Amino acid sequence: MRRALAGLLLLLPAAVAAQSSVVTITDLRPRELRSTVFRVTAAQDLRVTAVGAEPEGRRGTFGWVTTMWASSTDAATEPWLGNAWILDLTTRRVVWELSAAPTTRGHRDTATFNGAVHLLPGTYEAFYAAYPSISVDDSSHTTAARFINWLHDSGVDLFRLTIDGNAQTVTGAEADRARHAFEADAVVALHGSPKEPFLQAGFALDRPTTVEWYAEGELRENAEFDTGWIVNADTHELVWKLTWRTSAPAGGAPKNRFARISRTLPAGRYAALYTSDDSHAPGDWNQAPPHDPEAWGLVVRVVDPAARAGVKTFAYQHVAEDAVIVALTRIGNAESRTRAFTVPRPMDVRVYAIGEGRNDQMFDYGWITNAATNQRVWEMRYADSGHAGGDPKNRVVDQTIHLDKGEYIVHYVSDDSHAYDDWNASPPYDPRHWGITILAARAGGVP
């Protein structure tokens, strides 16, 4: 028995050694996200070794330094300073994560996992995100920089991820195709990026159709910074929007949120829109990234091939230039503008207004008066507004009103701060239309 056991122990290292190295991620730097795509052709246990670090408040001797200055947010919701995970690129779901795995404490308060992870046949992407809470460039070798890094030492130089098994690493164009495979049957794919802060696309359904959408962005409980939404393209009525309440944690920083929705929409014309601010996006994460970085944006899909044949796409403009009757936009600080316009016959018009408001009061806002009577026929009120993206004080009203034949004057006023091209907080998703625009329309709603 002892002889057989000894033989088994001698064979075990050889068997492990026979497994090929699939993923090796080492030598990470602070604020770095790295990944490797690999393919598994047969169900098996892969050997995974990972070294990372828990959130600052849950680590060793100087955890109290960060805890003392932290908000009331539960530390359990904070991302790990060094975290690894494996994403199934077909289902877009995490199948293993270091922060959720049983670990042992290692050198400099690191956490280590060394064990088997069972994977089914498929294509996967292994990630490592090294995002310490504080990191100072100490290349100048100053005493202050060394002291700060010592206090907040998260062991970045020890972080690593290795995966061994009978799997194949995928690189180059093939890896890129695998990362975006879920977009292969997409009707609309909008990728969030500061380079293109406002994206829009239309799609038409010729019959009631089950539509799926997958959205990911940067949200707070009371504000959206990178977000997507779907509207009826003809009425501008909101169908759905990615908000804190309509989303779930997407991994990494708490502000990373995502939603997967499946809904049957009536026949009609729809538009998908996505907006991004100037930070925290693929390639430039300022906090720990989400588990599925490539999904940052909004993808709309029709899975049923028979139904997909009846879906057409079209160019969409949320504020169509050829429908504009009058516009007072790109309003700066301390401005007061007016413009007259004529309604040749009784008609419905769409009023699209963006301004600054808080606590039931508007500070930058517009209104419409009857030129003959000087009476207000419409006014931008806080109670009728929705969040316009960015800071909560950015408000938008998108309504349809009826105007009789006659002469009208549109007005817009702004206070001395937070206006177009001079924001004192995060700007709205559509900054170019800060002001009021009146367009020809049939019906409406508040997006």
Q: Is pLDDT of 273 > 50?
A: yes
- One of 1.10.520, 2.170.130, 1.10.1760, 2.60.120 is the CATH number of 321-440, namely 2.60.120
CATH code reported for the domain at 18-178: 2.60.120.380
As a whole number, mean pLDDT of residues 144-151 equals 52
Average pLDDT over residues 164-182: 96
Looking at the predicted structure, is the pLDDT value of residue 73 above 70?
Answer: no
Which of 79-83, 112-116, 148-152, 333-337 is the least confident region?
Answer: 148-152
pLDDT at 270: 97
Q: Give the model's pLDDT for residue 219.
A: 96
Domain range summary for the chain, segments of one domain joined by +: 18-178, 182-314, 321-440
pLDDT higher than threshold 90 for residue 328 = yes
pTM of the model: 0.84
Q: Poorest-confidence range of 23-37, 150-164, 274-288, 379-393?
A: 150-164
Work out the pLDDT band at 78, boundaries 50, 70, 90: confident
Confidence label for 441 from pLDDT (cuts 50, 70 and 90)? confident
Task: Decide if 182-314 and 321-440 have a common fold.
Answer: yes
CA 42, 45, 47, 50 torsion-angle sign: positive
Q: Which of 362, 445, 446, 444 is nearest to 411 (CA)?
A: 362
pLDDT-derived band of residue 13, with 50, 70 and 90 as boundaries?
very low
Fold held by 182-314:
Jelly Rolls (2.60.120)
pLDDT of res. 60: 52
Of residues 384 and 20, the one with the higher pLDDT is: 384
User: Is pLDDT of 72 > 80?
Assistant: no
pLDDT band at 338 (very low <50, low <70, confident <90, very high): very high
Identify the residue with better confidence: 57 or 438. Answer: 438
Calpha distance 290→283 (Å, rounded): 12
